């Protein structure tokens, strides 16, 4: 079983009730089933027992932080963390023989799941122009090939260097250093598609793009908002922190169009009570907001707070804080007082009672935290919405005090660290000056291209070399057909990867696969075994050490790959000791400590148990904005309303996938099994559209550029989503997201805000009986 490649068959759709609770015994059982299938028992146990422990492996899943040292349980991981780690520790292998048997066209015809299930990549491979197969290539020849291509470009800006957020601080720092020494700021990353909107909104209003909340803050808040996130599937250990907060007396308000399982009830697998009991109710209130209605909701709450202050002056707002630490209050207040509550009800789909009850919760609370994720950032008005949340926090001084603050919940385990290390196409001059002073070269100053900008430039022939350090760009990006065409126009595409994915199959004229060590694996360099470092969603920087024997003797670490590429490409005029960096990662951290603020004495501090926490100026009452004050802003924007006969589609994650990689076809908590080709629609909308639960439809994108964007053969599932909104899985529906449909100012694709219509293809006779859902 272990070595047999899975076939691509799906078992057929079955649907039952969405689950009312998350993460108990079945969660653990499912993780073990997946582990056993992918690895052998001792290997599984060895990896899992060190996960998220001091001196162990940082979970390669999400960026949720680890509890303080001394407060960690023996099994400090969730079901999904176990799946992610075992997906990497699999015993299956992709060998040169595999590539001989599967031409590139064949790979391109396979599902994402099938590609991933083939196992770990083992050797560098090249696809040469005019051929249809990958063949083995030596490492030196591979680096020479990339170097020749890069050196032959008219301008360094004709290359683009993508990073996905699993990459360590060390590799990320070197990667941006290489790109800038080579001469470009074209450093798109997954964050462009993830929390870019949060970064823009927070930077403008608070002067720093990161959240200021610690785990302790969360546990000590007395009111927590969970807006546009699904922690039961995507940040499962967040539920433990929320449970603690509840036991400490917190109330929780979830704002989400869908009644996600983890927002309802949590059974903590780490506690006996969690295994047998009813578990903890997570959300005291679930506001099933209409898609994109969050801006209106927070504006209404802000208006209510201003009016409450009018009624009882000096009792509602934190006047001292507003006067001493903020600006823009008057203009904001005037604007928000004019918000029309009838319009709010229309925008949010909520009742005045529902909003009023939350307002009462706010008045009763001294310490408020607002958490959010992709349900906000991937909206067209994401930036104004998050700015309005900052207004909401500022009004009662819920920023920078213990138990308060904004909490953007990050996705990839080191996406925040990669940004800290300079992976951003718009790094500020101060950072570039430091690079110059340290390494003696002049970095380019003009902003580079982000993810969407890179796709446009490849499409237009302005970028002809695409280099991906981890990730699966072609599937993560919007407008799949346009993105695929853009990548196919490239002269060279290079992917540094652990597992096979579609970005290897949809490639440039020449294509390289460079197989890398994963986080679970022992990394030995000339100076001995190395460790790596990462930063979680709450700015804690700590080590991660792999212990498993590498999947193949031919693998190189990401650090080694970047160093060797740099040596092959650059002319040596910069004073950058690439060989030393590769031999001893301590040298890399030493340079980081001199360049990146907050990293002084990096090597020593990071090896202390639990590492260290980066300072956040907001927590010291400092707001490094242009004016030196936290800023109230005036925000406008209305939710997308689909025209008659259409729906607003959000593309989201199932419980059983890691981003572009589906592990199975099941989404247990939503009650959907056996197929991901489903579109969830409100039952009343189905009636209006003349459709029934179980019908087969094409989902057709609507955007006024004349392009037919179509996801074919989807089964309609009646689901308790607000009217007008639909949901389907990513990445199968990325084909529907127009490249030009981006959030204002952040340029983030609007993956949760896509206008579609459903074209009926046929009905399935073998459906579960009507009424099985909702």
Residues lying near ligand SF4 in the complex (CB under 6 A) are found at 59, 61-62, 64, 77-78, 80-81, 235-237
Q: Looking at beta carbons only, is 80 or 326 nearer to ligand SF4?
A: 80
Task: Pick the closer one to ligand SF4 by CB: 61 or 199.
Answer: 61
Which one of ligand MGD, Mo ion, ligand SF4, none interacts with residue 299, CB within 5 to 8 A by kind?
A: none
Point out which residues pair with 57 in neighbouring strands: none
Query: Pick from ligand MGD, ligand SF4, Mo ion, none: which does 64 bind, CB < 5 to 8 A by kind?
Result: ligand SF4
375 binds, among ligand MGD, Mo ion, ligand SF4, none (CB under 5 to 8 A by kind): ligand MGD
Do residues 38 and 89 lie in contact, with contact meaning Cβ atoms separated by under 8 Å?
Answer: yes
- Least distance from ligand SF4 to the Cβ atom of residue 299, Å: 32
Of residues 18 and 397, the one with the C-beta less far from ligand MGD: 18
CB of 419: closest distance to ligand MGD in angstroms? Answer: 12
Provide DSSP, 745-768: TT--B-TT-EEEEEEEEEE-TTPP
The answer to whether residues 116 and 661 touch, using CB atoms and an 8 Å cutoff, is: yes
Give the Cα separation of 492 and 483 in Å (integer): 15
The CA-based diameter of the chain, rounded to the nearest angstrom, is 76
Q: 489, 478, 256, 506: which is closest to 372 by C-alpha?
A: 256
Residue 406 beta carbon to ligand MGD: minimum distance, rounded to whole angstroms: 15
Q: How far is the CB of 215 from ligand MGD (least distance, A)?
A: 17
Minimum CB distance to ligand SF4, residue 64 (Å): 4
Strands in 210-287 per DSSP E: 223-227, 251-255, 265-266, 280-281, 285-287
List contacts with Mo ion (CB under 5 A).
Answer: 194, 411
227 makes contact, choosing from ligand MGD, Mo ion, ligand SF4, none, with CB < 5 to 8 Å by partner type, with ligand MGD
Please, what is the minimum distance in Å from the beta carbon of residue 657 to ligand MGD?
5
Contacts of 313 (CB under 8 A, 6+ apart): none
Residue 59's binding partner among Mo ion, ligand MGD, ligand SF4, none (Cβ under 5 to 8 angstroms by kind) is: ligand SF4
- Selection from Mo ion, ligand MGD, ligand SF4, none that 77 binds (CB < 5 to 8 A by kind) is ligand SF4
Distance CA 721, CA 289 (A): 9
Q: Which residues contact 365 (CB under 8 A, 6 or more apart)?
A: 221, 222, 223, 251
Strands 725-729 and 678-681: antiparallel
CA 228 to CA 560: how far, in whole Å?
A: 38
Give the one entry of Mo ion, ligand MGD, ligand SF4, none that residue 150 binds, where binding means its C-beta sits below a cut-off of 5 to 8 angstroms depending on kind.
none
Which of residues 435 and 754 has its CB atom nearest to ligand MGD in the complex?
A: 754
Report the residue number, 18 or 61, with the smaller CB distance to ligand SF4: 61
476 binds, among Mo ion, ligand SF4, ligand MGD, none (CB under 5 to 8 A by kind): ligand MGD
Question: Residue 277 gets which letter from DSSP?
Answer: S
Cβ closest to Mo ion, residue 99 vs residue 424: 424
Helix (H, G, I), strand (E, B) or coil at 262: helix
Query: Beta 510-515 vs 125-127: how paired, if at all?
Result: antiparallel
3-state helix, strand, coil in the chain (%, to 5): 40, 20, 45
Rounded to 5 degrees, what are φ and ψ at 599? -110, 15
List of residues 6+ apart from 451 with CB closer than 8 A: 162, 188, 189, 190, 192, 193, 473, 477, 749
The interface partner of residue 738, options being ligand MGD, Mo ion, ligand SF4, none and the CB cut-off 5 to 8 Å by kind, is: none
Cα 763 to Cα 697: distance, rounded to the nearest angstrom:
9
Taking the complex as a whole, the smallest distance from the CB of residue 214 to ligand SF4 amounts, in Å, to 16
Nearer of residues 35 and 633 to ligand SF4, judged by Cβ = 35
Backbone angles phi, psi at 210, to 5 degrees: -100, 160
Minimum CB distance to ligand SF4, residue 2 (Å): 24
233: partner contacted, choices Mo ion, ligand SF4, ligand MGD, none (Cβ within 5-8 A by kind): ligand MGD
The tokens for 112 are 């994402």
CA atoms within a 13 Å half-sphere pointing along the CA-CB vector of 68: 7
If the CB atoms of residues 194 and 250 are measured against Mo ion, the closer one turns out to be 194
| Contact positions vs ligand MGD (CB under 6 A) | 61-62, 80, 164-166, 190, 193-194, 227-230, 233-235, 255-258, 260, 289, 291-292, 294, 373-375, 378-379, 411-412, 470-473, 476, 496-499, 501, 516, 518-519, 558, 650-653, 657-661, 730-731, 734, 737, 751-752
């Amino acid at each position: 079983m272990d070595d047999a490649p899975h076939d691509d068959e799906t078992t057929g759709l079955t649907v039952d009730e969405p689950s009312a609770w998350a993460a108990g015994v079945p969660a653990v059982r499912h993780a073990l089933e997946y582990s056993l299938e992918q690895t052998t028992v001792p290997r599984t146990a060895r990896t899992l027992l060190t996960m998220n422990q001091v001196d162990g492996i940082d979970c390669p899943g999400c960026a949720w932080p680890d509890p303080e040292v001394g407060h960690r349980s023996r099994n400090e991981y969730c079901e999904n963390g176990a799946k992610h780690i075992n997906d990497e520790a699999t015993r299956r292998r992709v060998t040169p023989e595999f590539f001989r048997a599967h031409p590139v066209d064949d790979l391109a015809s396979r599902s994402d799941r099938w590609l991933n299930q083939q196992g770990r990549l083992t050797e560098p491979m090249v696809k040469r122009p005019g051929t249809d197969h990958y063949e083995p290539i030596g490492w030196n020849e591979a680096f020479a090939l990339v170097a020749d291509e890069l050196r032959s470009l008219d301008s360094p800006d004709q290359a683009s260097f993508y990073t996905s957020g699993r990459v360590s601080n060390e590799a990320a720092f070197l990667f941006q250093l290489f790109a800038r020494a080579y001469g470009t700021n074209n450093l798109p990353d997954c964050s462009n598609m993830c929390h870019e909107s949060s970064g823009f909104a927070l930077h403008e209003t608070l002067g720093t793009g990161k959240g200021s909340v610690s785990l302790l803050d969360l546990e000590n808040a007395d009111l927590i908002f969970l807006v546009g996130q699904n922690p039961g599937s995507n940040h499962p250990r967040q539920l433990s922190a929320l449970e603690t907060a509840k036991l400490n007396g917190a109330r929780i308000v979830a704002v989400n169009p869908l009644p996600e399982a983890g927002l309802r009830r949590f059974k903590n697998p780490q506690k006996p009570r969690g295994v047998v009991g009813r578990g903890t109710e997570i959300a005291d209130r679930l506001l099933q907001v209409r898609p994109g209605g969050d801006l209106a909701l927070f504006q209404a709450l802000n208006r209510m707070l201003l009016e409450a202050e009018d009624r009882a002056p000096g009792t509602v707002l934190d006047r001292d804080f507003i006067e001493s630490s903020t600006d823009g209050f008057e203009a904001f207040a005037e604007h928000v007082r004019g918000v029309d509550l009838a319009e709010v009800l229309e925008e949010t789909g909520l009742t005045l009672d529902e909003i009023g009850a939350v307002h009462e919760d706010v008045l009763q609370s001294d310490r408020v935290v607002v958490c959010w994720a992709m349900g906000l950032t991937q909206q067209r008005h994401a930036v104004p919405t998050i700015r309005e949340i900052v207004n909401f926090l500022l009004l009662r001084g819920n920023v920078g005090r213990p138990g308060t603050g904004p909490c953007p919940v990050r996705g990839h385990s080191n996406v925040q660290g990669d940004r800290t290390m300079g992976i951003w196409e718009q790094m500020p001059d101060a950072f570039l000056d430091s690079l110059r002073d340290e390494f003696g070269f002049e970095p380019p100053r003009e902003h580079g291209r982000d993810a969407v900008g890179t796709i446009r430039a490849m499409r237009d022939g302005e970028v002809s070399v695409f280099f991906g350090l981890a990730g699966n760009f072609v599937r993560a990006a919007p407008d799949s057909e346009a993105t695929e065409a853009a990548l196919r126009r490239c002269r060279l595409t290079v992917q540094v990867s652990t597992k096979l994915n579609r970005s290897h199959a949809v490639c440039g004229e020449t294509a390289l696969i460079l197989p890398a060590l994963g986080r679970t694996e022992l990394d030995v360099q000339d100076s001995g075994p190395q460790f790596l470092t990462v930063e979680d969603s709450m700015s804690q920087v700590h080590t991660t050490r792999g212990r498993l024997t590498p999947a193949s003797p031919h693998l190189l670490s990401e650090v080694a790959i970047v160093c060797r590429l740099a040596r092959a490409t650059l002319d040596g005029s910069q004073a950058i000791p690439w060989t030393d960096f590769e031999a001893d990662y301590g040298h890399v951290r030493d340079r980081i400590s001199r360049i990146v603020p907050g990293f002084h004495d990096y090597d020593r501090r990071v090896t202390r148990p639990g590492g260290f926490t980066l300072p956040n100026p907001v927590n010291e009452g400092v707001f490094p904005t242009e004016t030196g004050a936290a800023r109230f802003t005036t925000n406008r924007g209305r939710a997308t309303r689909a025209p008659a006969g259409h729906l607003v589609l959000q593309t989201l994650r199932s419980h059983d996938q890691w981003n572009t990689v589906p592990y199975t076809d099941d989404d247990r908590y939503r009650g959907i099994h056996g197929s991901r080709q489903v579109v969830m629609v409100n039952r009343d909308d189905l009636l209006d559209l003349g459709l029934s639960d179980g019908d087969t439809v094409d989902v057709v994108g609507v955007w006024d550029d004349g392009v037919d964007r179509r996801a074919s053969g989807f089964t309609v599932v009646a689901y308790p989503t607000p009217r007008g909104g639909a949901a389907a899985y990513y990445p199968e529906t990325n084909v529907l997201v127009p490249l030009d449909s981006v959030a204002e100012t952040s340029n983030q694709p609007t993956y949760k805000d896509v206008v579609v219509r459903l074209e009926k293809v046929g009905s399935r006779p073998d459906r579960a009986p009507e009424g099985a859902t909702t």
